[in-house]
């Protein structure tokens, strides 16, 4: 195989490689990046929040007067895991939430417990729900001694739940509240730094206005069959309200909350959260009379660090497939195309020299230049320049001299 053919093969190979790298870069930045931006199917997070609040003492329910304790330590724990169905398009998140006062043990310290399940789109994080498939459920309450299998009640979900979408925007999102059983707006407030990570802050008001004033509290939706915790009747003396001590007084349970979310805009992970929740009994929704649990909690330091690390991991994976690799492949592809074009040019010149060696002169030509660099004399040989001496050839005498005539 001569040099021209070798150069041509190498040029074709580089041109093909360059084109393949550019196509790969395009696919990575469009198709593959879209496949990467999805909620992980192995999601498993434990979110712990702590704070203080006001809470009804469960032991006083059997006494003469309901006792409400002030400034009690409160811990909220939320365990989020993946359940079925979970596939390429949707994922089902199960969130078990408990709120307890840490100065009491077991059932006596439990203020709230619920298990919420929702199926969401893996890309948009929006709930997937319709008339035939509610897309969510909530577990009926059970005592700690109950050994029966848990029973779920269908609860259609709307909007976001437990996280925000990838590429979160600076706008208002509907965010589902499983206690109120409907979504409420989460409004964008601005950017803030959380452990070195730039986040978007969102606020949500449920029954409160922006100033923290009760405006439209939610009547509590009981999960019991007989609504035993939605309305409670007790003696006026027990409630501690004016009137005849033994007169029965029925109060309704209401709920209101305020939340702040700090969200990683790339992955949609909630890296920090604050919640103020107020459960109370009243005869008038806007005039709380007996507090059941009014507390304010926020992610503890370990939870914030873990959530920031999870967000960074998802960021790195998205950045690798949607930015770093496409840029690298694009640069390598362009280099390969330029190199292939140069080798192709050299191969044409080399082929021309093989076809017409006369082009291999001192003034130009691929091989001519190469020979000149080696110090070889590319001009004509001296023997070729020497004139050949031509010797005259004798012609034959067609009329030979026969001497004088004979005079005899």
Long-range contacts of 9-14 (CB under 8 A, 24+ apart): 10/340, 10/343, 11/340, 11/341, 11/342, 11/343, 11/344, 11/346, 11/347, 12/340, 12/344, 13/340, 14/336, 14/337, 14/339, 14/340, 14/343
Q: Where are the beta strands (DSSP E) in 122-213?
A: 136-139, 152-154, 173-177, 182-194, 197-206
Long-range contacts of 322-325 (CB under 8 A, 24+ apart): 322/28, 322/29, 322/32, 322/33, 322/36, 322/37, 323/29, 325/25, 325/28
Spatial separation of the C-alpha atoms in residues 335 and 317, rounded to whole Å:
26
- Tell me the three state secondary structure of residue 192: strand
Q: Which residues, 6 or more positions from 126, have their beta carbon under 8 angstroms from its beta carbon? A: 120, 159, 160, 165
Spatial separation of the C-alpha atoms in residues 281 and 251, rounded to whole Å:
6
Contact between 350 and 370 (Cβ < 8 Å): no
- Tell me the three state secondary structure of residue 33: helix
Strand partners, 44: 81
Contact between 184 and 202 (Cβ < 8 Å): no
pTM (2 d.p.): 0.74
Encode pLDDT of 299-333 as tens digits: 999 999 999 999 999 888 777 666 666 777 688 77
Spatial separation of the C-alpha atoms in residues 279 and 101, rounded to whole Å:
14
Spatial separation of the C-alpha atoms in residues 124 and 207, rounded to whole Å:
27
Contact between 175 and 191 (Cβ < 8 Å): no
Does residue 85 have a cis bond before it (omega within 30 degrees)?
A: yes
Q: Which two tokens stand for residue 180?
A: 């109120």
- Tell me the three state secondary structure of residue 50: strand
Phi-psi region of 155 (alpha: psi -120 to 50; beta: other; left: phi over 0): beta
How far the first Cα of the chain sits from its last, in Å, is 90
Nearest CA to 187 out of 264, 263, 281 is that of 263
Instruction: Give the pLDDT of residue 408.
Output: 43
Give pLDDT tens digits along the chain (408 positions): 566 677 777 778 777 877 777 777 676 666 666 667 889 998 999 999 999 999 999 888 888 999 999 999 999 999 999 998 899 899 999 999 999 999 887 677 889 989 999 999 998 999 997 776 778 999 877 655 566 777 888 899 999 999 999 999 999 999 999 999 999 999 999 999 999 999 999 999 999 999 999 999 999 988 877 777 889 999 999 999 998 999 999 999 999 999 999 999 999 999 999 999 999 999 999 999 999 999 999 999 999 999 999 999 988 877 766 666 677 768 877 887 777 777 777 767 766 666 665 544 444 444 444 444 444 455 555 544 545 555 555 555 555 555 555 544
Count the Cβ atoms, other than its own, within 10 Å of residue 330: 17
């Amino acid at each position: 195989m001569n040099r021209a053919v070798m150069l041509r093969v190498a040029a074709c190979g580089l041109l093909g490689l360059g084109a393949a790298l550019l196509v790969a870069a395009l696919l990575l930045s469009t198709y593959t990046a879209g496949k990467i931006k999805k909620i992980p199917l192995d999601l498993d997070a434990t979110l712990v929040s702590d704070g203080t609040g006001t809470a009804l003492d469960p032991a006083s329910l059997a006494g003469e007067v309901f006792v409400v304790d002030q400034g009690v330590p409160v811990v909220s724990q939320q365990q989020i895991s993946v359940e079925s169905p979970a596939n390429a398009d949707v994922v089902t998140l199960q969130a078990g939430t408990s709120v307890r006062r840490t100065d009491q043990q077991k059932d006596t310290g439990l203020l709230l417990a619920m298990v919420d399940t929702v199926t969401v789109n893996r890309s948009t994080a929006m709930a997937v729900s319709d008339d035939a498939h509610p897309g969510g459920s909530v577990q009926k309450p059970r005592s700690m001694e109950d050994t029966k299998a848990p029973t779920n009640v269908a609860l259609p979900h709307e909007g976001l739940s437990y996280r925000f979408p990838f590429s979160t925007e600076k706008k208002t999102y509907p965010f589902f509240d499983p206690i109120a059983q409907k979504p409420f707006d989460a409004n964008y407030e601005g950017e803030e730094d959380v452990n070195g990570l730039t986040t978007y802050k969102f606020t949500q008001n449920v029954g409160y206005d922006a100033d923290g004033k009760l405006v439209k509290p939610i009547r509590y939706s009981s999960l019991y069959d007989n609504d035993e915790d939605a309305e409670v009747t007790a003696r006026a003396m027990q409630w501690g309200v004016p009137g005849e001590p033994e007169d029965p007084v029925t109060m309704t349970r209401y709920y209101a909350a305020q939340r702040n979310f700090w969200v990683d805009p790339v992955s949609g992970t909630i890296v920090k959260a604050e919640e103020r929740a107020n459960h109370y009994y009243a005869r008038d929704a806007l005039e709380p009379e007996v507090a059941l649990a009014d507390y304010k909690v926020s992610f503890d330091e370990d939870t914030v660090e873990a959530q920031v690390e999870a967000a960074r991991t998802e960021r790195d994976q998205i950045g690798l497939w949607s930015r770093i690799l496409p840029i690298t492949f694009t640069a390598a592809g362009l280099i390969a195309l330029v190199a292939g074009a140069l080798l192709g040019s050299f191969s044409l010149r080399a082929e021309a020299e093989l076809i017409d060696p006369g082009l291999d002169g001192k003034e130009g030509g691929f091989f001519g230049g190469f020979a000149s660099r080696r110090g070889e004399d590319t001009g004509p040989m001296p023997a070729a320049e020497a004139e050949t001496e031509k010797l005259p050839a004798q012609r034959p005498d067609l009329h030979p001299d026969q001497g004088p005539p004979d005079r005899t």
